[in-house]
Amino acid sequence: MKRRALEVAVLSDIHLGTYGCRADEVLNYLRSIKPKKLILNGDIVDGWQFKKKYWPASHTKVLKEVLHLASKGCKVYYLPGNHDEVFRRFVGYKLGNIKVENKVVLDLDGKLAWFFHGDVFDVTMQHSRWLTRLGSEGYDFLIWLNYHVNRWLDFMGKEKKSFSKQIKNGVKGAVKYINQFEDMCADIAIQKNYDYVVCGHIHQPEIREIIRNNKSVLYLNSGDWIENLTALEYDRETWNIYTYEPSEFSERLEEVDKNAKEMFDDMLVEFQLNALDQ
């Protein structure tokens, strides 16, 4: 499988260690790209739910692939979020091409991009932590329920559903909160004269220009790998939202299987010829 070359790839809200995490899809995506810089923009490992001791082999493979990319020269920035805030004690720590930071500013073709998770702008996170935890428990229950329902739907050959996504998109308060979050990030980015502000946290993939007092900033959110299966990609001076498509990878897997079968057939023919010679 040939990897796509990228200048920057941004992933956030993978939530390794939870039932809702789509680790297989994350792994497929990481194995399909060759970024010069990889931004892991918070909530990569879910420390809040880690006590459940749910950690399949596929979750370990995701971390191994990140290490593999770093070993091949990719610069990896780990920016902790609220669910993996335990890693904030390691801010400034560097191991090879992997560095832990609260935020990072990169010069992308002469324009400044400001990356951070975004939970610092969450009022409930800062002042009512118990309320945030309560909301998180409800969200996690929906994800757990969704996980088991989707396994059944997949077995029946039917399309998967996202309960939490449908509820979030249908509640006016949630939509209002998302808009306020985006506006707050953009306002501060404009004050700091950044051209791009790149966040995670709210699980809502987005690219849109926000204008304030004749000044503008491009607000970007990488979404998540529970409901939306999205990432941000920057290459050739252009930002795009990547959305995971299972068919794209099934075709590649079929191609790999075909190549493996052809190789096996060639080896079998060679073995038979050698047997005849003897």
CA dihedral 113→117→122→127, nearest 10 degrees, is -120
What one-character-per-residue DSSP string does 52-74 give? G----HHHHHHHHHHHHHHHTT-
Give the phi and the psi of residue 42 in degrees, each rounded to 5.
95, 150
The answer to whether the Cα torsion of 177, 178, 184, 185 is positive or negative is positive
Domain residue limits, the chain: 4-268
The answer to whether the Cα torsion of 61, 62, 66, 72 is positive or negative is positive
Encode pLDDT of 82-116 as tens digits. 889 999 999 999 999 999 999 999 999 999 999 99
Encode pLDDT of 199-241 as tens digits. 999 889 999 999 998 999 999 999 999 989 999 999 999 999 9
- Pairwise CA distance, residues 96 & 70, whole Å: 8
Between 86 and 50, the more confident residue is: 86
Confirm or reject CATH 1.10.10.10 for domain 4-268, answering yes or no: no
pTM equals 0.77
Q: Are 134 and 140 in contact (CB under 8 A)?
A: no
- Pairwise CA distance, residues 74 & 33, whole Å: 11
